[in-house]
Structures are given as C-alpha cells and as structure tokens.
Structure 1
Amino acid sequence: MNGEECSAYFLASTAQYHINADIAFAIKRYFEATCDIDFMLNCGAEMLFETARIFADLGHYVEGKGFCLDGVTGPDEYTAMVNNNAYTNIMAKEHLQFAYDIAQMLKNKYRENYDELKQKINLEDKELDEWKKHQMVCIFHTMTN
C-alpha cells in the first residue's frame, strides 16, 4: 500500500467514527466466541467504555427525531461528512448497547475490577445512563429520514 488507494479527502478520514464501533464489534464477537473474561477485565472493557464516550460526545438530540450523529463519514469513504449515516448509527447503537451491557455485567459480577476501571478512566454512573438512553434512540433518526 502506498497511499494511492486511500481517500484523498482529508475530512472523510477524520470523520470515520464508525471505526470505533467496528473495533467494539470485534471485541463483542471475540467475547461472545470465547467468554474470555480476563481480556474483558484487562483491556476490552476499557476500550469499549472509552470509545463509547466518543459517540456520547459526538451525538446530539434533535426534537422529534432522537439522537443524531452529524458530520460523519461512512465506511464507503465517498459519502463524506453526512448526517446520520445508517451504518455509523447502527454500529454506534450496537456499540453503546454492548458497552452498557458489559458495564452492568462487571458491576454485578466483578465489582472490584469494575470499581478499579471506573476510577482509572474517571467513569461516572451518569455516562452509563447516557449510553443506555442513546443506544435506544440513535437509529430512530436514520430510519425515519
């Protein structure tokens, strides 16, 4: 690879937030296949939580529409800087749901590990509530536009 095959449009590459969700999806699939709780406790949950924060910060609410992700570039790289790219919204929804589910599992079954991680990354309980709220509505705008 020498760069010729890459998008020349700089803004397209900086708005590819779906990559965070792609990584979360890979973590989810790995965890579902292996039940590797050590991986989740040692690095997986931290990656999930930190990248979930990106979507929570990136999105905003539009009255009557729901949680929206504006100014993103989907995986095709040619539809740059659009509002509510379907792929990005669907992957963000899955990401936020999985991050929330893992946080709940850690709180309930691995409380000491959860508390250590929470302190390490300054995770607040209200963030979990936001993830739950956002994942429930972020696809709504895409599906109704």
Structure 2
Amino acid sequence: MSQLSHISAKGEAVMVDVSDKSETTRMAKAQALIKINQQTVASLVAGEHHKGDVFACARIAGIQAAKKTSDLIPLCHPLMLSKVTIDLSLDEAAGEIKVLSTVKLKGQTGVEMEALTAASVAALTIYDMCKAVQKDIVISELKLLEKHGGKSGEFIANEGDKC
C-alpha cells in the first residue's frame, strides 16, 4: 500500500508541503444530482418560489463554497482560484436537477476538493430553498468527473459513472 500523503511517519495528520511543486494550470469538474417531485419542478419552472431565484442562489453558494473549501475541509490548502462556474440543468420530465461545477487555477495543488465542495453546497442550497415544498428531496451522485494538470495528470470518469 502506498503511503498516504496527509499522514506523517508517526501517524499524525499533516498538510502536504507543495512549495517545491511546479505551478501548472489545474482544472476539475464535479457533479451532484438532485431528485425532486413534480410539485417542486412546477414551482421552479413557474418561477414562483417564495424564497426567490433558487438557481441564482445555488450558483452563488457553490462559488462561495469553492472559495471557502480550505475553511471546511481539514488539510486543504487555501487557493487563489481563477475560475468557478456552477451550471444547473433541470430535466422536468425526470424530476432531476444536475449540478456541474468547474474550478480552475494556476497553482501548485489541485482543485478537486473545491469542485466537489462547490457541487455539494450548490445542491444543499437547492434543498434548503425547496424543503418547504418537498421534504424528501434526494441528493446523490456527488462525484469527480474530471481533473487536469499536476503531477498525477488527467482523470476522466468513465461514461457510465456520469449522471
């Protein structure tokens, strides 16, 4: 088994030293899937949600979450992100909202955790704003879709692993 990068030889948690790593352009995409009922779909489509624009709030929350990842996840480095996008798509017939986050920077460490955090918080924001209409909303399929840059190279999820 390979040595875990966030555990010292003494078994203590440590933040990885990235100071000797080269700066490269790094990008990651993550997704989450939200299952909603037709009453919730109708309220979103009609734009009659009493809390306001659900998708606009989710986008802002996702962007903020990416920027705050190092405050939320122990041992993550604070990063100077150059791009964060949150794309939301509603499949009315299926009753599903797909959240897709993209995070990018030029730096010494990857942005996978920022992309995953952004997707999850955007999804949680949609849940929070819609819970008055529906309590049994399901958030699932939170996963890394792809990452580029850095020493470990590229990762692209198998087509069957994508929502």
Settle same-fold status: TM greater than 0.5: no
Higher relative contact order (CA 8 A, sep 6+): 2
- Scaled to the shorter chain, the TM-score interval is under 0.3
Which is helix-richer, 1 or 2? 1
**TM-score of the two chains, using structure 2 as the length reference:** 0.23
**TM-score of the two chains, using structure 1 as the length reference:** 0.25
Rg larger for: 2
